């Protein structure tokens, strides 16, 4: 596949976010000008309003809506907090500063705005996400966790001081951190024809050392366990903007399986958001059936693992035959295996034998 040129999406999106924040503020002013009590409306995020949507292939919110009106004395505080959160997000976005949920909680005090605890401020940020339909990373509130990427992709920064600068993502063989600067960059050019996401740092490094990016023409993403939302969005962008298939490799246990599932189908916690999941991504291993077929060294499934399997069995995201088969097989063999277990056949077996077979099998 030849180089691709991708038109700007990041700056457009930044503008939309700022527009959304301004509209929110303008709406409040308008209502006051008309002499009515200002109010805000958003879809309810309570459990009974969350359902799995076959079309979007993710959890979505239903039709039920909640309204916060300052006419109601009990709404006065959360309404004010929400408007403050919008103000603060607008400042972050327009000044191009990033922040964390923890920072938001403390920053409130600089504005004499009080939150009982961090849970309260986190909830208000989720309210803001729900109203705007953008995730907090879009208004520059980032998690602490960082994952990484490596491969033939040239990106162009949009962050202050680096505008227009490019970076080739093979520049640093330990991998390139996926932080605010990388997620807000434009994709300029790639020769890769697939994305390979890997759960663990050790294996990510092994893949780089063994030139998986060249041998299999791929961009490698390390999720570092459960992928942070910014990384899930980044994988989606690689899939959508570069039109590349995504293959996910995790440990062979219910937790690894679910790391893949959240990348594919998202989480109930993010039912109010779109574009965090990659519905066409494939879970390529380590499957329970791989454990059997490759005679991997295993550990027994413990009580927590079994409990988790029963939960997954009831989860609407796990209804497809592949997932059902793998859950059943786990329950039958009652064993789990880590990705590193392939080292029993030598350090490069996973790259030379397992990887190509699974890429073919899940194509």
Question: Which stretches of the chain bind a second copy, using CB under 8 A?
Answer: 96-100, 102-103, 105-107, 109-110, 142, 144-146, 148, 157, 159-162, 167, 171-182, 200-202, 205-206, 209, 211, 297, 338, 340-347
Which active-site residues does the annotation give? 106
Cβ atoms of residues 324 and 287 within 8 Å: no
Min dist. Cβ of residue 173 to a second copy (A)? 4
| Residue 54, CA distances (Å) to 60, 80, 103, 213, 315 in order | 10, 37, 37, 34, 13
Q: What are phi and psi of 246, to 5 degrees?
A: -120, 125
How far apart are CB 142 and a second copy at their closest, in Å?
7
Name the residue nearer to a second copy (CB basis): 99 or 265.
99
Q: Smaller CB distance to a second copy: residue 167 or 312?
A: 167
Nearest approach in angstroms of CB 335 to a second copy is: 15
The burial of 304, by beta-carbon neighbours within 10 Å (0-12 exposed, 13-18 middle, 19 or more buried), is given as: exposed
251 preceded by a cis bond (ω within 30 of 0): no
CB of 296 to a second copy, least distance (A): 9
Nearest CB to a second copy, comparing residues 164 and 321: 164
Which of 213, 201, 351, 202 has the alpha carbon at shortest distance from 285?
Answer: 351
Nearer to a second copy, 168 or 315 (CB): 168
Q: Are 202 and 148 in contact (CB under 8 A)?
A: no
Q: Are 256 and 290 in contact (CB under 8 A)?
A: no
């Amino acid at each position: 596949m030849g180089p691709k040129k991708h038109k700007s999406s990041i700056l457009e999106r930044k503008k939309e976010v700022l527009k959304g924040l301004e509209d929110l503020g303008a709406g409040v002013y308008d209502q006051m000008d008309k002499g009515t009590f200002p109010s805000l409306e958003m879809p309810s995020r309570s459990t009974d309003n969350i359902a799995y949507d076959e079309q979007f292939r993710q959890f979505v919110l239903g039709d039920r809506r909640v309204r916060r009106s300052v006419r109601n004395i009990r709404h006065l505080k959360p309404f004010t907090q929400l408007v403050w959160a919008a103000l603060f997000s607008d400042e972050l976005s327009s000044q191009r500063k990033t922040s964390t949920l923890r920072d938001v909680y403390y920053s409130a005090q600089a504005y004499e705005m009080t939150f009982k605890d961090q849970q309260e401020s986190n909830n208000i940020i989720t309210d803001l996400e729900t109203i705007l339909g953008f995730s907090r990373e879009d208004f520059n509130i980032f998690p602490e966790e960082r994952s990484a990427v490596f491969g033939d992709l040239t990106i162009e920064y949009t962050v202050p001081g680096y505008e227009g600068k490019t970076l080739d993502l093979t520049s640093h063989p330990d991998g390139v951190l996926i932080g605010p600067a990388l997620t807000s960059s434009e994709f300029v050019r790639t020769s890769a024809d697939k994305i390979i996401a890997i759960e663990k740092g050790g294996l990510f490094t092994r893949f780089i050392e063994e030139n998986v990016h060249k041998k299999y023409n791929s961009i490698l993403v390390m999720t570092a366990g459960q992928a942070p939302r910014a990384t899930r969005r980044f994988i989606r962008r690689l899939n959508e903007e570069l039109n590349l298939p995504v293959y996910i490799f995790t440990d062979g246990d219910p937790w690894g399986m679910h790391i893949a599932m959240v990348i594919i189908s998202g989480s109930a916690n993010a039912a109010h958001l779109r574009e965090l999941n990659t519905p066409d991504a494939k879970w390529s291993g380590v499957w329970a059936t791989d454990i059997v077929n490759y005679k991997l060294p295993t550990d027994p499934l413990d009580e927590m693992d079994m409990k988790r399997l029963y939960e997954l069995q009831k989860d609407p995201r796990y209804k497809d035959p592949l997932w059902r088969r793998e859950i059943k097989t786990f329950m039958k063999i009652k064993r789990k295996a880590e990705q590193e277990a392939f080292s029993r056949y030598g350090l490069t077996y996973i790259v030379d034998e397992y990887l190509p077979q699974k890429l073919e099998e899940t194509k």
